[in-house]
Structure 1
């Protein structure tokens, strides 16, 4: 059975940001998603999706021509959500985990899909107090999409490193910069996926899982990057949710550029253990981690700078009309990530509840 790839406008972008709803005074999770849906304008409702937890909501942009446009939609949505929250005592936050919430104090949204997943994954899903940023890039055909997918696998750690925002979980400092990553990897269809030589190989794998009852749709595959045939996109899923809208724009711009470049480049394939080591380096150390490739070991910051230089020299950002924006955003490589700022605050003052405020957007 074929898995049809629906072409989309080449290299358009979209973003999905999973946000926490937190109490204005205590920073505890606030089970207020129903309130947001009830009071949202019609325009906002078009951007909102219910999520696993009743204290969680997802903002989904429409298809956008530029990363700047996608971030504009996220910002407008957040502003309206926070405006609603003023009357009910909550606001939005975007971190990869909630800093101190416990699984006993949260409730799963009573949708059939989520209840089915809970039955399957048991305690694993009960501790899913995690939040991500997903980025879509559109492709004209499945062959171009597969090339971009394979290229992205090699570069997952650079996107994770820039986005890290989850060093705390259940009220403890984990010692990692992205604990969300380790929680997600416990699921059987999550983490770093395998390369595919062709789209038909991906179809074969997908059909084996679906025809034997292990998945119902592509939504049941949670890889760090996945092919999304329904939308005609490649979806980057490795990033922690992040409150810094400039940082989100940087991530979208870099991913969009890498996808375009992949259509004219050939990427080397790495041993899976090398891919895992590089991802661990980003998980543990954020942008201070190391990156191993065929030329040896370099810093993740240096790797990102090298990729940006390659894309610039090939005219990628110029073709995408993002050259000026990437020049203004590239400074973020050398700035502390959200997780690094959180860890520094904790080591200086030790007030774990107050650290949740780092997730406030804008």
Structure 2
């Protein structure tokens, strides 16, 4: 009997986002074990949107399914304001960077949920040093094979999303020399990093069941690829991005992913050698948007590739079809601004003060 995964069809190209954020002391900016306080004081309209995460010093904001990126970031901003209001009374606030700049693993505590304790048993020190925070973006599909096409396309654009979102050049109180050190920490996990292409959904199913029947995973949640197919939700889920404090930058990332997902339905998707994919991702990890990118038979920059795909999506009328063209016209100006990681590095070189650098994660 053939094993099958149930793909729960979604309305085409709907979007959702999950933003992992740090809880930090309002005075020292050290991590604050305040998630329980949040859930004890959370207003009714934010229940289900703010959720616990692996550490007691972090929470995750999970939007409902939205028609437009602008709607998704509205929920994120509303939740961030709500959490900060609670924090005013209890001495903490929210920071949205890919890593905490100076915290150490000895100062953290794992949330006492069965899933996280099981992961701790498997991952040991790797999970204890997981002072990392990401932005995950979902796009909905009505059909599993259409989702596979978008998944394959997004694999080629992982450096673009990472470069735009990079916000983790500091870890354990040190300047790492990278723009996204979160990426390197995450890649230590056994089922993380750049995944492989699939010719069809059956190939994905086969791999999934091999991992599950071998006892290594319990569900799709135990697969942490940079982009994954999420059959339970009827989406593809981009997971490569650092958490980010700039709300417009988050909207830009969601809008771009939605546009690429739309484009994937009518385009032939080139496949690159895995080593090329790794090199391109490394260049984003190391240099953010300034990194070089191997693109078929030429070399460009990650920023240059971002501009070219936006131009192509505009030419094809993709943003117009999705009714995001007016917003994208404004949002693409973000590419002329420095990334969060670039600004963090500049401020550190000027002040040599990690507390000031950590404060750059406060929401804008």
Q: TM-score, normalized by length of structure 1?
A: 0.99
1: distance between equivalents of 2:351 and 2:85? 31
Corresponding residue of 1:9: 11
Corresponding residue of 1:354: 356
Q: Give the SS at the match of 1:353.
A: helix
Which whole-Å deviations, capped at 9, do the CAs of 1:122-147 have from their partners, x for residues lacking one? 11111000000000000010010000
1: distance between equivalents of 2:214 and 2:278? 28
Corresponding residue of 1:255: 257
Which range moved further: 223-232 or 39-48?
A: 39-48
Corresponding residue of 2:120: 118
1:93 to 92, 95, 100: 95
2: distance between equivalents of 1:45 and 1:26? 28
* CA drift at 1:52: 0.4
Corresponding residue of 2:64: 62
1:208 to 207, 210, 232: 210
2: distance between equivalents of 1:283 and 1:202? 27
TM alignment of 1:234-273, pairs within 5 A: 234-273=236-275
TM alignment of 1:266-285, pairs within 5 A: 266-285=268-287
Corresponding residue of 2:32: 30
Which whole-Å deviations, capped at 9, do the CAs of 1:267-287 have from their partners, x for residues lacking one? 110000000000000000001
Corresponding residue of 2:291: 289
2:329 to 327, 330, 335: 327
* CA drift at 1:108: 0.4
* CA drift at 1:204: 0.3
Any gaps of 5 or more consecutive residues in structure 2? none
1: distance between equivalents of 2:212 and 2:57? 31
Q: Is 1:155 aligned to residue 141 of structure 2?
A: no
* CA drift at 1:45: 1.2
C-alpha contact (below 8 Å) 1:301/1:334 kept by paired residues: no
Aligned residues: 362
Which whole-Å deviations, capped at 9, do the CAs of 1:222-275 have from their partners, x for residues lacking one? 000000000000000000000000000000000000000000001110000000
Corresponding residue of 1:102: 104
1: distance between equivalents of 2:282 and 2:149? 24
1: distance between equivalents of 2:48 and 2:241? 23
* CA drift at 1:349: 1.4
2:224 to 222, 225, 237: 222
Corresponding residue of 2:339: 337
C-alpha contact (below 8 Å) 1:243/1:361 kept by paired residues: yes
1: distance between equivalents of 2:88 and 2:350? 31
Q: TM-score, normalized by length of structure 2?
A: 0.99
Which whole-Å deviations, capped at 9, do the CAs of 1:333-352 have from their partners, x for residues lacking one? 12100000000011111111
1: distance between equivalents of 2:123 and 2:228? 21
* CA drift at 1:295: 2.9
Q: Give the SS at the match of 1:216.
A: coil
* CA drift at 1:186: 0.2
2: distance between equivalents of 1:54 and 1:353? 21
* CA drift at 1:49: 1.3
2: distance between equivalents of 1:25 and 1:6? 46
Q: Give the SS at the match of 1:264.
A: coil
* CA drift at 1:100: 0.3
Any gaps of 5 or more consecutive residues in structure 1? none
Q: Give the SS at the match of 1:43.
A: helix
1: distance between equivalents of 2:213 and 2:114? 20
Give the RMSD, CA atoms, in angstroms: 0.5
2: distance between equivalents of 1:201 and 1:49? 32
Q: Give the SS at the match of 2:167.
A: coil
Q: Give the SS at the match of 2:59.
A: strand
2: distance between equivalents of 1:43 and 1:278? 41
Q: Give the SS at the match of 2:54.
A: coil
2: distance between equivalents of 1:209 and 1:46? 30
